[in-house]
Structure 1
Amino acid sequence: MPGRTPPPSEAELGALGLQLGRETLWLRPRLSALLQQLVHERFPGLRPSSPPSSNTLQRRLQRLGVHSTGKARNGAWLALVGAVHWKMLADLLGAADGTAHHWHKWNGGDRAGYVASRLRAAQAPTSPE
C-alpha cells in the first residue's frame, strides 16, 4: 500500500510506533525519545500503560473549557466529514464505514458534492482575474 510507513530498521530499534486506526505510524528515534520523555515526566506516579478513566478525562476537559464532550465530539465529526471523504475518514479513525457515512449524510454531503468541492479547490485561481 503506498504511503505505508515501514517498520523501523535495526538502526532505529528505539523507535516507537503509534497505532492510528488500522495502521502503525513509526516515529523516528529522536521523536520517539522526546515522546518517551514526555510520558515519563508528564505523568509522574501514574502508569502510562493504563489509560485515564472517563471521569478523569471529563474533569480535565472541563478545566480546559470543554463542558459538553458529546457536543464537542459531534462538532468534530461534522467538521471532519466536511473536510475528508467519509471512507478515508473511517479508515483513518478506525470507525465503521456505516458510522462515517451516516455522519457524512447528516452533514448534508453526498458523493457528487465532495467531488465537486475537490474540483473547485483544485481550480482555484492563482492570480487576480
Structure 2
Amino acid sequence: MQHRTVRDVMTLDVVFAHRETGVLGLQLGREPLWLRPRLSALLQQLIHERRPLAAALKDQETPYLFPGLRPSSPLSSNTLQRRLQRLGIPSANQARNGAWLALVGAVHWKMLADLLGAADGTAHHRHKWNGGDRASHVASRLRVTKSSTGPE
C-alpha cells in the first residue's frame, strides 16, 4: 500500500458507497472503514455542502472534504483545530487517543492494526498503554460471550 498524506486523505477519493446499503465508507487503510448510518448521512451532507472559504470561489469544484481558502487546497490544520474546539473537542490528539483506547479495548490490537492500516507496533503499544496484555482480550471476549443473550 502506498503511503497517504493528510492532503490525500482529505479528498473525495477516499469516500466509497456500499453497493447494497448505500452507506458511506472511508478507505484510510487497506480495508474500507464503513460508517454507521447517522455518520454516513453527516458525511453525505458534508460532501454536498462543502465550499471553498473564499466567497468569490464558492461555485468552484474542489476535491477536498474540508476545502481551504482556494478550491485547490485543503483547510489548514490550525483552522480545522479551531473549528473542532468551538464544537467542544479540545484537541484532535486527545480525541484520537481516546478513540484508540476505546477501540483497542474492544478489538484485538492486531485486527485493529490491519483494519486501520496502522503499524503493528503502534497498535500493540496502544494496547499495552490501555492496560492490556495478550490474553486479556480473549478473556474479555469470553466474558462478553457468556453474558450475551443475542446478537450485537
Q: Which amino acid aligns with 1:69?
A: A
For structure 2, the 5+ residue unaligned runs are: 1-17, 35-39, 54-61, 65-72
Query: If the length of structure 1 is used for normalisation, what is the TM-score?
Result: 0.67
Q: What is the CA–CA distance in structure 1 between the aligned matches of 2:98 and 2:33, rounded to whole Å?
A: 26
- The SS at the match of 2:147 is coil
Checking the alignment, whether the CA contact within 8 Å between 2:33 and 2:115 is kept in structure 1 is no
**Which residue does the alignment assign to 1:67?**
90
**Which residue does the alignment assign to 1:53?**
76
Aligned ranges for residues 86-101 of structure 1 at < 5 Å? 86-101=109-124
**Which residue does the alignment assign to 2:141?**
118
Can you list the C-alpha shifts for 1:80-123, whole angstroms capped at 9, x where unaligned?
A: 11111101111111111100000001111012111011111111
Q: What is the CA–CA distance in structure 2 between the aligned matches of 1:51 and 1:113, rounded to whole Å?
A: 41
Query: If the length of structure 2 is used for normalisation, what is the TM-score?
Result: 0.58
| Cα 1:72/1:38, change in 2 over 3 Å | closer
Q: Please state how far the C-alpha of 1:75 moved relative to its aligned partner.
A: 1.7
Match 2:47 to one of 29, 39, 46:
39
Identity among equivalent positions (%) equals: 76
**Which residue does the alignment assign to 1:21?**
29
Write 1 or 2 for the structure with the bigger share of helix: 1
TM-align CA RMSD: 3.2
- The SS at the match of 2:27 is strand
The size of the alignment, in residue pairs, is 108
Q: Please state how far the C-alpha of 1:66 moved relative to its aligned partner.
A: 1.1
Q: Please state how far the C-alpha of 1:45 moved relative to its aligned partner.
A: 3.5
Q: What is the CA–CA distance in structure 2 between the aligned matches of 1:125 and 1:45, rounded to whole Å?
A: 48
Can you list the C-alpha shifts for 1:6-53, whole angstroms capped at 9, x where unaligned?
A: x97xxxxxxx87414112479xxxx8xx93x74132x12362335322
| Cα 1:70/1:96, change in 2 over 3 Å | same
